[in-house]
Structures are given as structure tokens and as C-alpha cells.
Amino acid sequence: MRRRILAGNWKMNGDREEAMSLATEISGMVKDEYLGDSKIVLFPPFVHIHSIARLLEHSRISIGGQNCAAADSGAFTGEVSAKMLASCGAQYVIIGHSERRSYFNESSSDLTAKIMQALKAGLQVIYCVGETLEQREQTEHFNLVASQLRECLFHLSKDQWGHVVVAYEPVWAIGTGLTASPAQAQEMHAFIRQTIADHMGHELASEVSILYGGSCNESNATELFVLKDVDGGLIGGASLKSRSFVNILKQL
Ligand code: PGA
């Protein structure tokens, strides 16, 4: 179901105390100040998921993992399975973040396996796509994003698509302070929706939530969130400050 979503990707930040405080502050502000009905999801590091899921059990905030393993279980030292995440209270998982693709060499076949594991475990998938600056300069960005969608998502059934959210995160905008202009964001979001429609049909495409990510903050959120095909945000840096995150939420 297409809905408005604000996701906070904490990446590898925060010890236990800091993570618990951030979650407590965000849930307090949401309770006191937020009247909207957007879905709110926090993505803490794995080790904090269980505690934060318990802390926020009776709140309207959901929790997710920033990654999951491509396998079910077994001898994969250091990995965390989708099923383990779900058993700790996670409802979502981010798959295909550009930092995972580039620093950990995650290929489309790895990502496809992760998506299948996540869906099997009953998690909602936030699947990230996006081009580097070089790819945009060479006008390869549309082809690249289309292939990222095709390689990992177009084999899914309509039912499975009901558990998938797409996040467009131009790599050149992540953590750099550079943001896609509203025109660039709308152009790519519309392209993503059209590409999904071409393969899966218009009805399904109109029901998919497509989030924008990449230096989204309190000052630029409104101009991005008003765009027709932008259904919310995946926020990195600005999600580490409760005030900023909740101020962004209020603009959704
Ligand atoms: P950023 O990160 O908001 O710090 O640019 C976004 C992301 O990587 O999800």
C-alpha cells in the first residue's frame, strides 16, 4: 500500500546509551507534537534493535535492520539473518544501500537473495537504488537505476511487491550536503514509477512508496516531500538529532 514514510538510518552511530536516548527523545516528541499519519521507522545498528523495539513497543514507531544476510542460517560468521531481525522486533530492513553495494561489494544476486530472505521472514523491504556522480554526468543514471530495479525486484509477485518500498538515493547526495534538486528528484521518482509500471502494471506501480534519500534535512524536506512521486524520506545524518528528525517528519 502506498503510504508516506519517514525512515531514519542511523548507520554505525551511537553506543547503547546514546541509541536509547535518541529513541526515547524521538518517541516523546512524536507523541507530543506529531498529528500526522506517516509511518515512522528507525534503523538502529543491529545490537540495539531488540532494546529499542521493546522501548518503543507501545509507540507508533517501527524498527528495522540496516542489512540482513543472504542466507537462512549457518556458518556465516558475523552475519545476522532476516529471521533473527524479525525475532528481535524488527519489521523492516534496508537492502541495497549504496554503502553496502560499494564498501561490501554487494552484487545484485546477493541483494536478490537478501530480499527473498527478508520477505520470507515477514519483513518490509526498503530497497535502495541510485547513481554515482560519474554515472549521472555520463547520463547513465536512468539505465543504471532501471537495471538496479530489474535485477532485484521484477521477479517478485504482486503480493511480494506489497512489502517493498523503493528508496532513490543518489550516491553523490549521501552525506555530502548536496541534495538532488526538486526537478531532479521528481524526474527520477517518476522514472522509477514508470519503470515499475512497465514491468508490473500501472495499478501496482501507483501503490509503491518511493522515498528520497541523500542530505535531506529540515531546510529542504518540504520542497522534496511536495513532489508528486516522492512519498517520504530515508534520512541519514539528520536522523541522529531528534529535533531535526521530528522537524523533518512534520514536513511530510
Ligand atoms: P544522508 O544519508 O541523509 O546522511 O545523506 C542518507 C542515507 O544514506 O540513507
**Model confidence over 130-186: pLDDT tens digits?**
999 999 999 999 999 999 999 999 999 999 999 999 999 999 998 888 888 999 999
Give yes or no: 207 in active site: no
Residue 41 has pLDDT above 90, yes or no: yes
Q: Which atom of ligand 1 is nearest to the CA of 234?
A: 9
| Side chain identity at residue 36, one-letter code | G
Q: Does 236 sit in the ligand 1 pocket, CB within 6 Å?
A: yes
Domain CATH number, residue 194: 3.20.20.70
Q: Which residues pair with 92 in a beta bridge?
A: 64, 124
Per-residue pLDDT reduced to its tens digit, 190-216: 999 999 999 999 999 999 999 999 999
Residue 149 Cα to ligand 1 middle (Å): 20
Given the residues 97, 99, 106, 189, select the one marked as catalytic: 97
Residue 234 Cα to ligand 1 middle (Å): 7
3-state secondary structure of 59: coil
Per-residue pLDDT reduced to its tens digit, 45-74: 999 999 999 999 999 999 999 999 999 999
Residue 74 Cα to ligand 1 middle (Å): 32
Banded pLDDT at 122 (limits 50, 70, 90): very high
pLDDT at 183: 96
Give yes or no: 131 in active site: no
Ligand 1, pocket-test mutation among 174, 218, 219, 244, most atoms within 8 A of CB = 174
Banded pLDDT at 85 (limits 50, 70, 90): very high
Of residues 240, 237, 235, 236, the one with CA closest to residue 251: 235
72 vs 70: CA distance, rounded Å:
7
Q: Is residue 158 a contact partner of residue 204, using CB atoms and an 8 Å limit?
A: yes
Q: What percent of the chain shows pLDDT beyond 70?
A: 100
**Could you give the number of structural domains in the chain?**
1
Q: Does 6 sit in the ligand 1 pocket, CB within 6 Å?
A: no
pLDDT at 1: 85
Number of Cα atoms under 13 Å in the Cβ half of residue 13: 15
Domain span at 92: 5-249
Q: Is residue 38 a contact partner of residue 6, using CB atoms and an 8 Å limit?
A: yes
Q: Please count the other Cβ atoms lying within 10 Å of the Cβ belonging to residue 60.
A: 13
Q: Which atom of ligand 1 is nearest to the CA of 237?
A: 4
Given the residues 48, 99, 169, 189, select the one marked as catalytic: 169
pTM for the predicted model, two decimal places: 0.97
